[in-house]
Amino acid sequence: MPGVLRASDILRLLLAPLAVLLLLGVPGYADASEPAALAGDPAQGPMVHMEGKTESALRLHKITGQMYASGLGGSMSGMAWRTVCAAPCDRRIDVSDGADFVIGHNMWDFSRKLRLDGHGDRVTIEVLRKGSPGLRLGGSILTGLGLGGVIAGGMMGALSERGSGQQRVWLLIGAGSVPALVGGIVMLVRGRAKARVRSF
């Protein structure tokens, strides 16, 4: 029969997934440098306008580099970016290097990658959802705790003596963590900025 786990062991099992999420960066942009100052108007590229659910703090960022690393202990990704304008933008943006762009307040609520080339001389970025860093952070915490509870509850429930009170407790922890996991994932999705590009 397995020994009874100490409280510190249980805490580590519950918090390990949360630590991984925070260290690797929930949106996949860990270890990115802070945005530089707003760039000057480039000499080429489309005139870009941002509309919809925008505010002055919402900015357009150009991805200048990406990094991926993996090993036996896990994997991680990183991104470097440069801020090129703030809403409503209304300036020409250099797209000659074929770079991707994202919108958002900071790395916590960046949108999915956008392409501004191939849309003609005038481009509109329609912001469908401005994103929420707080919602993303809360979602990462809930997701980490929920995932830790599901893994710990399922694993320890399987290792505990069948029909014992200890097994019932672990299974209850696992089942009770599912709503937190689902809720955290929803918060992560809803907290990300969302936009679409169209030409006019």
pTM exceeds 0.75, yes or no: no
pLDDT of residue 182: 94
Instruction: Report the range of poorest mean pLDDT among 50-54, 115-119, 145-149, 191-195.
Output: 50-54
8 Å CB contact between 110 and 80: no
Q: What percent of the chain has pLDDT over 90?
A: 20
Mean pLDDT of 125-153: 89
Per-residue pLDDT for 85 more than 80? yes
Burial class (CB in 10 A: 0-12, 13-18, 19+), 79: buried
Residue 169 Cα to chain centre, angstroms? 32
